[in-house]
Amino acid sequence: MSLPVSTFSIAGCDPDSGDVGVAVASKFLAVGAVVPWAEAGVGAVATQSYANTSYGPDGLHLLARGLSPDDVVRQLTVPDKARDQRQLGIVAADGRSATFTGEACVPWAGGLVGECYAIQGNILVGPEVAERMRESFTSSTGPLGDRLLRALGAGDAAGGDSRGRQSAALLVVRQKGGYGGFNDRYIDLRVDDHRHPIEELGRLRQQHRLYFDPVREEDATPLTPSLIEEVTRILEKSGDLEAVGNRDYDTATKDRLRGLFSRENLEERWRDDATIDRVALDYLRDRYR
């Protein structure tokens, strides 16, 4: 017997960056394995309630053929005999959107759409969950993944799933945005079973930002004498450098710092000149405080 994926989600896009994705939370185990689907250059789909997971790949295929989100909803739901129990949100990469809530979905159930977003939920405390999510998304700026995550948090703060919390997920795709540029899966973070899944998802996003977000030139921080002294203290605490009176940024010290960057998976933030990446430095300061 199928269990309802009673949840709240937002599918969104950023036409400027090309990012598309879905953020979702639920009192349901591993909601990220069911609800979110996305394809770079095409769009994003959220399928929930008594979820028909074929809506994900089939919906993306129809979007790729040029159908509008409204037409995709009709193509998916009309032949589905259980459509009254389905819920669906679709956003095309160009910003068009649609949402669908079957008449048999458990209240509160419904959705909101606008340019670049589709919000939907069922078994929620009330319509204010979707309304707060819309307010958050439409008023926020920054990378799409962060905007989706903030919208999810706003829905949770408004009451979210009336049964409680268990899992959450964030999926964002971009052209060649995956590891090594071999696929489009830029952000794929899941919290499958946690007392505070959205907060934990936020922590994972911070980690993802540290390891995988593009390194900015403005974060290059000159290695001044005082900063060199701080870096050598970090190396002493990490066990990479013996405590010595001479705190110079010589070849040996630089090699040890490079080794620490490698061990902490910070290779993408390594700089081979007389500067250090500020984001990496802040992490090392906290790690070896």
| pLDDT tens digits for range 148-166 | 999 999 999 998 878 889 9
In 103-248, which ranges are continuous DSSP H helix? 128-139, 144-157, 197-212, 225-238
Banded model confidence at residue 251, pLDDT cuts 50, 70, 90: confident
Q: What per-residue confidence (pLDDT) applies to 6?
A: 64
Q: Which of 212, 231, 263 is the last residue of a domain?
A: 212
The per-residue pLDDT for range 158-189, each reduced to its tens digit, is: 988 788 899 999 999 999 999 889 999 999 99
> Which CATH number does the domain housing residue 65 bear?
3.60.20.10
101 vs 83: CA distance, rounded Å: 9
Q: Which of 151, 185, 212 is the last residue of a domain?
A: 212
Q: Token digits for 157?
A: 């703060």
Banded model confidence at residue 197, pLDDT cuts 50, 70, 90: very high
pTM comes to: 0.91
Does 126 reside within a domain? yes
Q: What per-residue confidence (pLDDT) applies to 2?
A: 65
Does 1 reside within a domain? no
Does 249 reside within a domain? yes
94 and 205 in a single domain? The answer is yes
Banded model confidence at residue 249, pLDDT cuts 50, 70, 90: confident
63 and 97 in a single domain? The answer is yes
Q: Which of 153, 188, 212 is the last residue of a domain?
A: 212
186 and 244 in a single domain? The answer is no
26 and 58 in a single domain? The answer is yes
106 and 226 in a single domain? The answer is no
Q: What per-residue confidence (pLDDT) applies to 127?
A: 95
Does 257 reside within a domain? yes
Q: By C-alpha distance, which of 226, 202, 200 is closest to 281?
A: 226
Report whether 88 contacts 55 (CB < 8 A).
Answer: yes
171 and 75 in a single domain? The answer is yes
187 and 107 in a single domain? The answer is yes
Rg for the chain (alpha carbons), in Å? Answer: 22
222 vs 220: CA distance, rounded Å: 7
Residue 68 has pLDDT above 90, yes or no: yes
193 and 236 in a single domain? The answer is no
Mean pLDDT of 126-150: 97
Domain tally, the chain: 2
178 and 45 in a single domain? The answer is yes
Does 151 reside within a domain? yes
Banded model confidence at residue 131, pLDDT cuts 50, 70, 90: very high
> In this structure, what DSSP letter does residue 206 have?
H
197 and 145 in a single domain? The answer is yes
Q: Classify the C-alpha dihedral 77-80-85-88 as positive or negative.
A: negative
Q: By C-alpha distance, which of 138, 43, 26 is closest to 92?
A: 43
236 and 116 in a single domain? The answer is no
Q: By C-alpha distance, which of 88, 150, 76 is closest to 118?
A: 88
Does 92 reside within a domain? yes
Q: What per-residue confidence (pLDDT) applies to 243?
A: 63
Q: What per-residue confidence (pLDDT) applies to 44?
A: 98
Does 13 reside within a domain? yes
183: left (phi over 0), alpha (psi -120 to 50) or beta: beta
Percent over 70 (pLDDT), the chain: 96
Residue 223 has pLDDT above 90, yes or no: yes
Does 40 reside within a domain? yes
107 and 205 in a single domain? The answer is yes
Supply the range of the domain harboring residue 156.
Answer: 7-212
